[in-house]
Copies of this chain bind each other. A is one copy, B any other.
Amino acid sequence: MKIHNFSPGPSILPQSVFEKAAQGVLDLNGSGLSILEVSHRGKDFIAIHEQAKQLVKELLQVPDTYHILFLAGGASSQFFMTPLNCLPQDGRAAYVDTGSWSSKAIKEAKRYGQVDVIASSKADGYKYIPKSFTVPSEAAYLHLTSNNTIYGTQFHQFPQCDIPIVCDMSSDIFSRPVDINRFGIIYAGAQKNMGPAGVTLVIIREDMLGKANRDIPSMLDYKVHIEGDSMYNTPPVFPIYVSMLTLDWLKDQGGVKSIEEINQQKAKVLYDEIDRNPLFIGVAAPEDRSLMNVTFLLKDQALEKPFLEMCKQIGCDGVKGHRSVGGFRASIYNAMPLEGVEALVGAMQQFEKQMG
Which residues of A pack against B, CB within 8 Å?
1-3, 5, 7-13, 17-19, 21-23, 25-26, 31-34, 36-40, 42, 72-77, 79-80, 84, 104, 107-108, 111, 189, 191, 195-199, 215, 217-220, 232-239, 242, 315, 317-318
Contacts and interface: CB of A to CB of B under 8 A. Distances in A.
Contact of A74 (B10, B234, B239): B234
Contacts of A8: 39
Nearest to A12: B37
CB-based closest 4 A-B pairs: A198-B236, A72-B73, A80-B217, A3-B32
28 contacts: A1-B32, A3-B33, A7-B39, A9-B234, A10-B234, A11-B37, A18-B36, A22-B22, A22-B25, A25-B25, A37-B196, A72-B236, A76-B219, A76-B232, A77-B219, A80-B218, A80-B220, A84-B217, A108-B217, A111-B217, A189-B234, A191-B234, A197-B234, A197-B238, A198-B198, A198-B237, A198-B239, A236-B239
Nearest to A38: B10
A317 B33 contact: yes
Nearest to A220: B80
Contacts of A3: 31-33
Given A74-B72, A79-B219, A217-B80, A198 B37 contact: no
A225 to B, nearest CB: 11
Nearest to A112: B217
Most chain B CB within a 10 A radius of its CB, from A10, A79, A215, A233: A10
A72 B104 CA distance: 19
Most chain B CB within a 10 A radius of its CB, from A12, A220, A234, A242: A234
A2 B31 CA distance: 10
A32 B2 contact: yes
A180 B80 CA distance: 33
Nearest to A76: B233
Nearest to A34: B18
A334 B28 CA distance: 22
Nearest to A216: B111
Most chain B CB within a 10 A radius of its CB, from A3, A39, A84, A197: A197
A54 to B, nearest CB: 21
